[in-house]
């Protein structure tokens, strides 16, 4: 159960081949095997979900005034409110999204609090240089903010009721944390839970929370109206532990193994899922508990179960559990409450800001807003980066930085031999290349370095997880701002570290903005690449 599924070719022979051929071989392997995750990893994630649910149940069951078994209180107001508080705490300490081996975390299996409570670790302030909060490394002020957040969340979980007195201090600390440390802030999943916490301070919070759930579904669907999403579905199905039929995985591609562009079947599944995310939440909004509500709720439960059973990279499992639970509570038990029945002017303004303005700005100008706050979830249109270290230069990260996690090769080396480790690491490169946006690297890598074989390839996700303590597809956590912070501490010489940064495709435009930086010399070049140029490319260079 601890052994990964390795590619069906000799790793030593693979290492000797030219880079384009290596990438072609590993992409073919991903199409059939995915990452090759050991079975024990999935068991560990299932156990984590059990702990997540048990922790919530324990906090609710011990609430003064709550009597009887879970069947009598699971859908009560206090149970739902404590589910939100518990989820924020679970995410904030690093146990939720971005934890475990599927995000490059083996030893230790989490970052989060192991970084956020450790002075000297690297952070990304919203405004560098801001007094007290704007340092590039965590101070005791940053540690105190995280401790305050954990303490206030525990206070709410132990309270007999949840109202303004419990949530306003949490919101205030979260806002300060957003200025001090973008990583710790985003780790709480503020795109979802910050506005829910604000809603809890008002008497009409139930209607507002229904609007939040629907906005999440609709913005997620909107973000998938692109040419990226069919590749996401194909890559996810290839990696799914619940789909063992290799013929079905091959059917995700036009002509396996020679043409690994997404097939018509993958496109139908992708666009069909988008229709589901638009149509059936509308049924939940309009339903009042009858057949329409039952059908819409059943479809959305199945929708999230499919995502969860696929165990997507980044593992947003608890978030999917919360979406399903919220669906039952908000639209099942409380079906008669209308999502538009929000009377508090301040709450209406907050909803407009979080559910309309911020996502809209983030979709139109993605450079300035996190893809999480933009509610552009598993759509494939993410900012990303690739860090190219001249052979041996990545050791400076371990030598100069204060951090908890060593490099992924070191973590894997505690369990596997070098051949197995190399086979697993190569799959990370395939994951990036098989998404549509990753095909831009065929043009950008030769612009960044003369000979890719002289460099060690690290995906920016892995760099962020190791350096700042959390990674969940947020490319803005490993862009030029992180490179600047790392260079200030490591002092790479010219040519030792080259980075490729690619921004998301803005809504309504057909290009992605890219930049190439040298850690010592700064920006080398930048430009835009048209999406239409990528659609006909294979995941590997010719």
* Concatenated DSSP letters of 93-121: TTSSTT-SGGGT--SSS--THHHHTSTTB
Residue 60 lies in a domain: no
Range of 530's domain?
384-535
User: What average pLDDT score do residues 193-222 get?
Assistant: 98
Contact 189, 91 (CB under 8 A): yes
Check residue 326 and give its pLDDT: 98
User: What average pLDDT score do residues 370-383 get?
Assistant: 93
**pTM (two decimals):** 0.96
**pLDDT tens digit string along 80-113?**
999 999 999 999 999 999 999 999 999 999 999 9
- Rounded CA gap, 401 and 208, in Å? 43
Asked if the model's pLDDT at residue 216 lies above 90, the reply is yes
Asked if the model's pLDDT at residue 378 lies above 90, the reply is no
Residue 329 lies in a domain: no
Asked if the model's pLDDT at residue 542 lies above 90, the reply is no
Residue 403 lies in a domain: yes
If DSSP states are collapsed to H, E and C, what string results for 276-328?
Answer: HHHHHHHHHHHCCCCHHHHHHHHHHHHHHHHHHHCCCCCCCHHHHHHHHHHHH
Question: Residue 455 phi/psi, 5° resolution?
Answer: -125, 155
Residue with tokens 């002289």: 454
- Rounded CA gap, 304 and 296, in Å? 13
Contact 504, 160 (CB under 8 A): no
Taking Cα atoms as reference points, which of 26, 74, 68, 19 lies closest to residue 325? 74
**pLDDT tens digit string along 7-34?**
889 999 999 999 999 999 999 999 999 9
- Rounded CA gap, 337 and 129, in Å? 47
Taking Cα atoms as reference points, which of 187, 306, 180, 182 lies closest to residue 243? 306
Asked if the model's pLDDT at residue 1 lies above 80, the reply is no
Residue 50 lies in a domain: no
**pLDDT tens digit string along 285-303?**
999 999 999 999 999 999 9
Residue 80 lies in a domain: no
CA neighbours within 13 Å on the CB side: how many for 178? 15
Check residue 220 and give its pLDDT: 96
Contact 503, 512 (CB under 8 A): yes
- Provide the mean pLDDT of the chain: 96
How many domains is the chain partitioned into structurally? 1
Cβ-Cβ contacts under 8 Å for 254 (sequence gap 6 or more):
260, 261, 262, 263, 264
Residue with tokens 């190569």: 426
pLDDT tier, 313 (very low <50, low <70, confident <90, very high otherwise): confident
Residue 243 lies in a domain: no
Asked if the model's pLDDT at residue 391 lies above 80, the reply is yes
Q: Is 512 helix (H, G, I), strand (E, B) or coil?
A: strand
Asked if the model's pLDDT at residue 529 lies above 80, the reply is yes
Residue 454 lies in a domain: yes
Check residue 311 and give its pLDDT: 85
Asked if the model's pLDDT at residue 145 lies above 90, the reply is yes
Taking Cα atoms as reference points, which of 442, 441, 440 lies closest to residue 541? 442
Contact 114, 467 (CB under 8 A): no
Six-digit token pair at 293?
A: 């509500």
Cβ-Cβ contacts under 8 Å for 301 (sequence gap 6 or more):
324, 327
Distances (CA, A) of 465 to 93, 187, 269, 470, 477: 14, 12, 31, 5, 9
Q: Positive or negative CA dihedral for 434, 440, 446, 448?
A: negative
Six-digit token pair at 347?
A: 């709450």
- Rounded CA gap, 406 and 387, in Å? 16
Check residue 314 and give its pLDDT: 85
The neighbour count for residue 356, using CB atoms within 10 Å, is: 12
The neighbour count for residue 304, using CB atoms within 10 Å, is: 17
Residue 515 lies in a domain: yes
Pairing between strand 511-518 and 522-530? Answer: antiparallel
Residue with tokens 């947020």: 474
Cβ-Cβ contacts under 8 Å for 240 (sequence gap 6 or more):
34, 309, 310, 311
Contact 516, 448 (CB under 8 A): yes
- Rounded CA gap, 421 and 524, in Å? 32
CA angle 61, 318, 293 (to 5 degrees): 80
Check residue 6 and give its pLDDT: 87
E strands, 209-278, in order = 253-255, 259-262
**pLDDT tens digit string along 245-296?**
999 999 999 999 999 999 999 999 999 999 999 999 999 999 999 999 999 9
Six-digit token pair at 277?
A: 């995310």
Asked if the model's pLDDT at residue 333 lies above 90, the reply is yes
Cβ-Cβ contacts under 8 Å for 253 (sequence gap 6 or more):
31, 234, 259, 260, 261, 262, 263, 266
């Amino acid at each position: 159960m601890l052994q990964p599924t390795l590619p069906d070719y000799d790793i030593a022979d693979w290492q000797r081949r030219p880079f384009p051929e290596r990438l072609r071989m590993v992409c073919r392997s991903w199409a059939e095997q995915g990452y090759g995750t050991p079975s024990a990893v999935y068991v560990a994630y299932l156990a984590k979900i059990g702990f997540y649910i048990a922790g919530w149940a324990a906090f609710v069951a011990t609430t003064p005034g709550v009597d009887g078994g879970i069947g009598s209180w699971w859908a009560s107001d206090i149970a739902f409110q404590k589910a939100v508080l518990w989820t924020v705490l679970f995410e904030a300490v690093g146990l939720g999204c971005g934890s475990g081996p599927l995000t490059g975390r083996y030893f230790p299996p989490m970052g989060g609090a192991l970084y956020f409570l450790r002075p000297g670790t690297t952070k990304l302030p919203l405004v560098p240089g801001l007094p007290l909060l704007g340092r590039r490394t965590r101070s005791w002020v940053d540690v105190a903010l995280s401790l305050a957040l954990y303490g206030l969340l525990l206070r709410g979980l132990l309270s007999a009721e949840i109202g303004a007195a419990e949530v306003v201090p949490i919101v205030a600390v979260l806002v300060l944390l957003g200025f001090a440390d973008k990583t710790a802030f985003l780790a709480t999943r503020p795109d979802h839970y910050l506005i829910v916490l604000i809603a809890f301070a008002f008497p009409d919070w139930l209607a507002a929370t229904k609007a939040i759930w629907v906005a999440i579904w609709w913005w997620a669907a909107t973000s998938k109206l692109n040419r990226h999403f069919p590749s996401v579905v194909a890559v996810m199905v290839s990696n799914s532990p619940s789909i063992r039929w290799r013929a079905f995985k091959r059917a995700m591609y036009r002509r396996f193994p020679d043409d690994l562009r997404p097939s018509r079947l993958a496109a139908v599944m992708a666009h069909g899922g988008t229709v589901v995310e638009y149509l059936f939440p509308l049924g939940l909004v309009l339903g009042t508990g009858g057949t329409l509500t039952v059908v819409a709720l059943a479809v959305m439960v199945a929708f999230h179960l499919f995502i969860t059973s696929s165990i997507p990279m980044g593992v947003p499992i608890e978030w999917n559990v919360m979406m399903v639970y919220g669906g039952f509570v908000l639209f099942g038990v409380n079906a008669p409450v209308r999502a538009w029945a929000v009377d508090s002017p301040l709450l209406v303004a907050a909803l407009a800001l979080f559910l309309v303005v911020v996502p809209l700005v983030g979709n139109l100008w993605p450079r300035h807003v996190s893809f999480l706050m933009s509610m552009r979830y598993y759509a494939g249109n993410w900012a990303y980066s690739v860090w190219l270290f001249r052979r041996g230069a990545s050791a400076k990260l371990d030598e100069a930085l204060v951090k908890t996690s060593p490099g992924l090769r070191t973590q894997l080396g505690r369990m596997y031999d070098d051949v197995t480790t190399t086979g697993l690491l190569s799959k990370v490169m395939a994951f990036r290349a098989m998404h549509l946006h990753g095909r831009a690297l065929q043009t950008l890598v030769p612009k960044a370095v003369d000979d890719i074989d002289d460099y060690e390839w690290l995906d920016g996700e892995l760099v962020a997880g190791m350096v700042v303590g959390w990674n969940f597809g947020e490319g803005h956590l490993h862009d030029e701002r992180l490179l600047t912070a790392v260079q200030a501490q490591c002092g790479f010489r010219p040519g030792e570290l080259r980075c490729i940064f690619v921004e998301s495709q803005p809504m309504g435009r057909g290009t992605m903005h890219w930049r190439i930086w040298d850690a010592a010399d700064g920006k080398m070049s930048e430009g835009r690449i048209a999406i239409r140029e990528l659609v006909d490319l294979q995941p590997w260079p010719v």
